[in-house]
A and B are shown apart, each in its own frame.
Chain A
Amino acid sequence: MKLIAAMSGGVDSAVAAARAVEAGHDVIGVHLALSSNPQKYRSGARGCCTIEDSHDARRAADVIGIPFYIWDMAEEFHDGVVEDFLAEYAAGRTPNPCLRCNEKIKFAAVLDRARAMGFDGVVTGHYARTQISDSRKTLHRAVDHSKDQSYVLSVLTVEQIEGAIFPLGDTTKVDIRKEAEARGLAVAQKPDSHDICFVPSGDNAGWLRDRLGSEVGPIVDQDGVKIGEHKGAYTYTIGQRKGLGLTVPTADGSPRFVLKIEPVSNTVVVGAREDLAVSTMRGERAVWCGPAVTAQLQRGFVQVRAHGAALPCSYFFDGTLLTALLDEPLLGLATGQAMVIYDGDRVVGSATICETE
């Protein structure tokens, strides 16, 4: 096949590209420039898309022996990922920008452009696997569960999965580093990237405050009684206990947790731990990675964080909302997070959580 390898400058995408070449594909390396004002150097494990990263990607492509180009996707990234991230926080939700990037950039803008240019698909260094069942490609967890990235890929449609190649899903990260070393790739020991790539300082709250302002508002209990003040509602997360700065104790001295963020009234609602418990979640904007979910109740697992646990549940789709009924309640679940349904290791689909109870 003719493939575009998305190369971030990290070890995973470099090995993925090398493996695709070795598998006999005709591969071209592409580095996505996602920041319109890139920093020169990466600081620690944070940030990405620095000039240093693009050099690392180019060097890896040269060592592998494939052509290499840089595609400027800064505008698409800003509009589709960064703006969405801000808008979601401003609306009191907790988004996952990596999901959005896969949905709108890597397997949309890049894959569409690649296909229009005559390529068959996009290779990435994600830890996930695909399998062919009933002549359809399905999406599965990686063998290395600690590195599994199927959660952030759960926004891919069947069509997008058809054009996605994940050569690393059958290997552990430790072995990928060894393989990179053996292949003579200088990025073998480059640190993993963490956090949100477009917040290089790692200070999400500060980054949000700079962009959304920090309007003081009330912290109220479940009866609506004001018991404190906050400095920007979106810097709080559901389930947060520390850093609330409350001076009025509860009657029984038990701690308070953030239950809800109401952006319109700029209010943070706090309450007891048991009020955080969620046993039902509903999600909108459902995407199926294989056959569509129906109104018939099915058994499976739901995962609500990138590296969270797979929680046993029953689920169904009523045509608008995807509902998961948890076997055991979960504490602290924010709207805006993705709920991803698994059937064993297979990703069934995902939706953006809009209601919990």
Chain B
Amino acid sequence: MVEEALIAMTAQLARLGNPSSLHTHGRATRKTLEDAREVIAKEVGCLPSEVIFTASGTEANNTALKGLYWQGRDKGKHVVVISSIEHHAILDPAHWLEVHEGAEVIQIPVTHDGVVDLEFLTHLVATRGNEIAVISVMHANNETGVIQPIGKVVDIAGEIPVHTDAAQSFKKVPLSFAELGVYAMSLSAHKTGGPLGIGALILRRAVEIPALLHGGGQEREIRSGTLNAPAIVAFAAAAKSKYYDSAKVSALRDSFITGITSALPEVIVNGLKADRLPGIVNITFPGTQSDTLLLLMDAQNISCSTGSACSAGVHEASHVLLAMGHDEVSAQSSLRFSFGATSTSADVDFAVSVLPDVINRGRAANLS
């Protein structure tokens, strides 16, 4: 967590008062909380009333996707359109809607560089637009960092509600809810230097969708539950912090890519030709298995990650890389490296210096 957030959170934890209470303590908390809402609204380019606090980015995604689907279904629209590279927090609720709620889910394919296929979407909207309840395309992909053309998606969608999961993008690249023109956008505080366990759904003012959680109706009747004031205050502090220097992080990432590709020319940098977030790079190391590489890198105190793991913890081929045209084998030989606000060029040099040996051992282990 960034320091401003830590200080704000610690101070708020010591204060009494449920923001929904009418007494003095409650009102004080309410004031602090609404100040925080205004800060976040300003940072993401929306109205304060458009900010709905949730307990996670996952909850924001579920609320948006299910709510917009149910709203559309009431008007006879049963199609849910998502990109094929969504996070599981969209993929899984979409699948749930398909199994339990009568939705037809259509996935938009992506190019080799991991960008949604706009021609596919154009054709889909032209032929079946009146059946589509919601379109959800992430703002930037969490595994490759590839930024999606949300503005163009919105243009193509016309009247169809568009949701975007912007958990990865907020604070990393310019982001304005109003300018994007989407109906709904999900955020997660811990991706922006804030605390774990707090997120937000930014939902257009006039859009009312059915709730997932029912109770006190605290957040526009769309989200119930006592508001987590300390986490919200910290979220706002992180949102307004200038801790993240995109240009610096991009430069580190690029020097890492240069270092790796000159040491190991056979590697593939996924999504290299597309616009990407500053801090993420995804690389395929042919002839290796990424879980082996992860272990060896971890032993060098370098944390990187593989696509995802199933419930048993077994590493699985990334659906994102598969969608980009990798086969199972090459998808399973890919690693994601992340660079943050505190990364240094010494970190990059060290990672570049250990990788060739790690890759050699990884290849030997793969052949054994």
Partners in one complex: yes
With known contacts A116-B368, A117-B361, A67–B291 Cβ distance under 8 A: no
- The reply to whether A116 and B364 form a contact with Cβ atoms under 8 Å apart is yes
Contact yes or no, A67 B298, CB < 8 A: yes
B265 interface residue, CB < 8 Å from A?
no
CA distance A33 to B325 in the complex (A): 27
Write the chain A residue with the least CB distance to B296: A117
Residues of B within 8 A of A113 (CB): 292, 365, 368
Q: Determine whether A69 belongs to the interface, using a CB cutoff of 8 Å to chain B.
A: yes
Q: Which stretch (A70-78, A124-132, A148-156, A241-249) binds chain B?
A: A70-78
Write the B298-340 contact mask toward A (1 if CB under 8 angstroms, else 0): 1100000000010111110000000000000000000000000
Q: Is the CB of B314 within 8 A of A116?
A: no
- Bound Cα distance from A58 to B314, whole angstroms: 13
A162: Cβ under 8 A from any B Cβ: no
- Determine whether A51 belongs to the interface, using a CB cutoff of 8 Å to chain B: yes
CB-based contact B295/A51 at 8 Å: no
Give Cα A118–Cα B297 distance, bound, in whole angstroms. 13
Report the minimal beta-carbon distance from B170 to chain A, rounded to whole angstroms: 31
Interface readout for B235-259 with A: 1 if CB under 8 Å, 0 if not? 0000000000000000000000000
B367 on the A face (CB < 8 A): yes
For chain A, the count of residues having a C-beta within 8 Å of the partner chain is: 20
Cα-based distance from A51 to B365 in the complex (angstroms): 26
Assess whether A69 is in contact with B295, with CB atoms less than 8 Å apart: yes
Q: A67-B295, A117-B295 are in contact. Are A112 and B368 (CB under 8 A)?
A: yes
Q: Name the distance in Å between B298's Cβ and chain A's nearest Cβ.
A: 6
A266 at the interface (CB under 8 A from B): no
Tell me the bound Cα distance from A290 to B291 in angstroms.
35
Tell me if B94 counts as interface (CB < 8 A to partner A).
Answer: no
What's the least CB distance linking A354 to chain B, in Å? 30
Structural contact, B314 and A115, CB atoms closer than 8 A: no
Contact of B313 among A28, A33, A117 (CB under 8 A): A33
Instruction: Point out the residues of chain B lying under 8 angstroms from A31, CB to CB.
Output: 313
Residue contact A38 to B364, C-beta cutoff 8 Å: no
C-alpha gap A118/B314 in the complex (Å):
22
Please measure, in the bound complex, the distance between the C-alpha atom of A140 and the C-alpha atom of B313, giving whole angstroms. Answer: 35
User: Which chain A residue lies CB-closest to B361?
Assistant: A117
**A71 to B367, Cβ gap below 8 A?**
no
Residues of B within 8 A of A237 (CB): none
Is A69 a contact partner of B291 (Cβ separation < 8 A)?
A: yes
Cβ–Cβ contact B292 & A70, under 8 A: no
Given A113-B368, A115-B368, are A51 and B311 also a contact pair (CB < 8 Å)?
yes
Chain B residue, CB-CB nearest to A74: B314
B314's partner among A28, A67, A70, A109 (CB-CB below 8 A) is A70
- Chain B nearest CB, measured from A65 CB (Å): 14
B314→A72 contact, CB < 8 A:
yes
The number of chain B residues with a CB under 8 A from chain A is 20
Question: Contact at A71–B291, with CB atoms within 8 Å?
Answer: yes
Residues of B within 8 A of A69 (CB): 291, 294-295
Check B298 against A116 for contact (C-beta < 8 Å).
no
Interface 0/1 of A6-44, CB less than 8 Å to B:
000000000000000000000010010100001000000
In the complex, residue of chain B having the shortest beta-carbon distance to the beta carbon of A33 = B314
Give bound CA distance, A71 to B332, whole Å: 13
Q: Which residue of A lies closest to B292 (CB)?
A: A117
Choose among A33, A67, A117, A118 the residue that contacts B312 (Cβ–Cβ < 8 A).
A33
- Contacts A71-B291, A116-B361, A116-B368; A51 near B312 (Cβ below 8 A): yes
Task: Determine the chain A residues whose CB is within 8 A of the CB of B368 once the complex forms.
Answer: 109, 112-113, 115-116
Which residues in A have their C-beta under 8 angstroms from that of B309? 70
A189 CB to nearest B CB, Å: 23
User: Which chain B residues border A70 with CB–CB below 8 Å?
Assistant: 291, 309, 312-315
Using CB atoms, name the residue of chain A closest to B362.
Answer: A117
Question: Given the complex, which residues of B lie within 8 Å of A58, measured CB to CB?
Answer: 313
A335 within 8 A of B: no
Q: Which residue of B lies closest to A111 (CB)?
A: B368
Bound form: Cα–Cα A74–B296 in Å: 22
**What 1/0 mask marks residues of chain B from 328 to 368 whose CB sits below 8 Å from any chain A CB?**
00000000000000000000000000000000011011111
Q: Mark A44-78, 1 if CB is under 8 A from B, else 0.
A: 00000001001000100000000101111010000
Tell me how far the C-beta of B96 lies from the nearest C-beta in chain A, rounded to whole angstroms: 19
Bound complex: CA A72 to CA B291 (Å)? 9
A53 to B, closest residue via Cβ? B312
Contact B315 A72 (CB under 8 A): yes
Interface residues of A (CB under 8 A from B): 28, 31, 33, 38, 51, 54, 58, 67, 69-72, 74, 109, 112-113, 115-118
What 6 pairs between A and B have smallest CB-CB spacing?
Answer: A112-B368, A116-B364, A116-B365, A70-B313, A72-B314, A116-B368
